[in-house]
């Protein structure tokens, strides 16, 4: 009977700066019995988990295999069945490329009650700190969030690059460090203007944030030169020009 079970909060902790966590997540961190976390929320947030709280590092299992995702689901369900209140803490927003939807489905299947706690997604907050609004009246009325395989050995990305090359809005690409060159090449191949401004933002909203600005034709070479590492987000579109005007915002914490 689900009433006997504990409850799971499927939550996002925002892009990294602890000040960008919701008030609700901040409260839950202090209140729950168990926190199951990924590495993405970052040290500054994970440090806030009280000593008394059981901590489970889901990242330890995370290898992008279905099996390991199953294990994460299993442990969450198991803790809830023990009657515990569980905070499943993910980076950004739990339903934006975080497999939160899959975890929620598993909870429904298992009869465990849960609540989603939206977070500030890196898709908009990371460009914002880099001085890049993802929309601007003068340049675009559309924006799209994209993710692809991280595995450069795979031939197909499963994305319709032809359509994306024609898309007249801002492209925000997640998880693309290893795949950046191929993604840019695909867009160029289908005729996207090589001069389209592009930015790569590493560790956005964190004190060691780094922004690399270029164009669609040179951003992947710049990324290699500067040894860009995950987590990073790529923004492609005219809004990137605003970076020079609005400037970067650097967190101190």
Contact footprint for ligand SAH (CB under 6 A): 15-16, 40, 90-93, 96-98, 121-123, 126, 174-175, 201, 203-206, 230-233
Sign of the C-alpha dihedral, residues 67, 97, 131, 17? negative
What is the Cα–Cα distance from 114 to 117, expressed in whole angstroms? 10
Nearest to ligand SAH of 106, 202 (CB atom): 202
The tokens for 66 are 């279905």
DSSP tag of 4: G
Q: How many CB atoms lie within 10 A of CB 236?
A: 26
The residue at minimum Cβ distance from ligand SAH is 92
What is the Cα–Cα distance from 20 to 156, expressed in whole angstroms? 36
In the sheet with 113-117, reading across from the earlier edge strand, the strands are 54-57, 34-37, 86-90, 7-12, 113-117
Nearest to ligand SAH of 5, 28 (CB atom): 28
Which residues are catalytic, by number?
38, 60, 175
Residue 74 CB, shortest distance to ligand SAH, in Å, is 21
Nearest to ligand SAH of 15, 169 (CB atom): 15
Nearest to ligand SAH of 77, 233 (CB atom): 233
């Amino acid at each position: 009977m689900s009433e006997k079970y504990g409850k799971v909060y499927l939550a996002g902790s925002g892009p990294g700066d602890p000040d960008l966590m919701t008030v609700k997540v901040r409260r839950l961190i202090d209140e729950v019995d168990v926190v199951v976390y990924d590495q993405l929320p970052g040290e500054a947030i994970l440090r806030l988990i009280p000593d008394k709280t059981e901590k489970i590092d889901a990242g330890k299992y995370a290898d992008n295999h279905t099996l390991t995702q199953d294990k994460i689901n299993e442990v969450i369900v198991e803790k809830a069945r023990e009657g515990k209140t569980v905070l499943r803490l993910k980076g950004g927003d739990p339903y934006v490329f975080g497999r939160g939807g899959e975890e929620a489905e598993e909870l429904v299947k298992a009869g465990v009650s849960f609540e989603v706690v939206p977070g500030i997604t890196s898709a908009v907050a990371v460009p914002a700190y880099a001085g890049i609004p993802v929309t601007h009246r003068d340049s675009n009325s559309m924006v799209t969030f994209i993710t692809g395989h991280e595995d450069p050995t795979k031939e197909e990305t499963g994305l319709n690059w032809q359509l994306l090359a024609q898309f007249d809005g801002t492209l925000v690409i997640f998880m693309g460090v290893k795949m950046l060159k191929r993604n840019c090449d695909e867009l160029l191949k289908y005729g996207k203007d090589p001069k389209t401004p592009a930015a790569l933002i590493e560790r956005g909203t964190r004190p060691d944030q780094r922004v690399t600005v270029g164009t669609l034709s040179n951003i992947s070479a710049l990324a290699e030169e500067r040894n860009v590492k995950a987590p990073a987000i790529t923004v492609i579109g005219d809004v990137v020009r605003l970076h020079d005007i609005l400037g970067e915002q650097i967190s101190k914490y």
